[in-house]
Amino acid sequence: MKLDFQPKFQQKGWRHDPLSDNFSQSKLFGAPSPITVKTLDRPLAPVLNQLKTTRCIAYRSSTNYWYRTFRKASPDWKAHKIGQKQGRSVDNYGGNPNATMKSDRDDGFLLVEDAHLSLEVNGVEGSGYGKWPQSLDARAVLNDDISGFIKIDNKQQDYFDSVKSALYRAYDPVTKRGACVDIFSGWYGDWFGETITLPSSPLFGYHSIVFFNFDTTYKGEYLLSQNSWGESVGNKGIQAWSRDVVNWEFSQGGRSLKQLAVLTPQMIAEAREQTPLGALIRQFILIFQRFSDNYGTYGK
């Protein structure tokens, strides 16, 4: 497939935070919900375009926000806030999964009508990290119902069914709103078409988008993702992933699936339970991650 632009990828693998394992779908929500529909009856979000940037985590975040609220948020302000959370611009080396999820949870979203800067008008330098006045933070719309985020795991079923269950559980059939599943994956040269297949080309880098729906057709069962490279990718930004591709991709290191969720105090307390040995192992891994950040690449 010939693209009308050259995408820019994050080259450093996504770093996994071992503490997020405590906040997993199987631990917090137990057995998956029975699914009685072939697809979710939800409208499509506007297709965003991150142009030649590594702001995928922010554009993914704003797409997810639309599916939860039907409101348009500024992905460039969100890129700035994620940069603040991780202590460096996402335009330099991309993003950190947990930093962006924490920003979604804590910082809220600045609606596009309140944003005076944008990538399209002001470019990367003019709309990036540190260019946004702090006074705009007070205008951000906070999440009243989101209290945390969980890891989508494969402990009770495979990754494909785990994502499907997470989407079904979060979706409200009355309002047609609900949290997507956030993807932090690798990306390959033959992954620009309408259907994502097992790759036959080298890894280009790392990318972040959302699973927003699932669909069962005469051709099979798929998870549907929405990309942030405009309508020239897939079917006007929408791509279909089969079970074998999902389970292969997310069984590899340096990939993860996460979802914003409503967590009760009891659920959070239970998820934070850890043994003394587990605490020591986590501290060792965190030290290794810091060393890798300074002296090498972690997760590749």
DSSP 159: H
Give the pLDDT of residue 237: 96
Residue 162 pLDDT greater than 50, yes or no: yes
The 10s digit of each residue's pLDDT in 68-89 is 999 999 999 999 999 999 999 9
The 10s digit of each residue's pLDDT in 24-81 is 998 899 888 899 999 999 999 999 999 999 999 999 999 999 999 999 999 999 999 9
Residue 220 pLDDT greater than 70, yes or no: yes
Residue 291 pLDDT greater than 70, yes or no: no
Give the pLDDT of residue 298: 34
Q: How confident is the model at residue 289 (pLDDT cuts 50, 70, 90)?
A: low
Report the C-alpha gap between 97 and 209 in whole angstroms: 12
- Surface-to-core class of residue 211, CB atoms within 10 Å of its CB (0-12 exposed, 13-18 middle, 19+ buried): buried
Per-residue CA distances from 243 to 24, 130, 152, 170, 220 (Å): 20, 41, 15, 20, 9
Q: Residue range 164-185: average pLDDT? A: 97
This prediction's pTM: 0.91
| Region of residue 94 (left: phi > 0; alpha: psi -120 to 50; beta: else) | left
Give the pLDDT of residue 19: 79
Q: Residue range 257-264: average pLDDT? A: 94
Q: How confident is the model at residue 293 (pLDDT cuts 50, 70, 90)?
A: low
Closest by CA position to 131, among listed 146, 116, 143 = 116
The 10s digit of each residue's pLDDT in 84-141 is 999 999 998 899 999 999 999 999 999 999 999 999 999 999 999 999 999 999 999 9
Give the pLDDT of residue 271: 81
Report the C-alpha gap between 49 and 73 in whole angstroms: 13
DSSP 144: S
Higher per-residue confidence, 18 vs 164: 164
What is the share, in percent, of the chain residues with pLDDT greater than 90? 73
Do the Cβ atoms of 192 and 180 come closer than 8 Å? no
Q: How confident is the model at residue 300 (pLDDT cuts 50, 70, 90)?
A: very low
Q: Residue range 184-201: average pLDDT? A: 95
Give the pLDDT of residue 299: 35
Tell me the backbone φ, ψ of residue 181, rounded to 5 degrees: -105, 125
Tell me the backbone φ, ψ of residue 80, rounded to 5 degrees: -65, -45
Per-residue CA distances from 12 to 18, 20, 21, 40, 292 (Å): 18, 20, 21, 34, 11
Write down the mean pLDDT value for the chain. 90
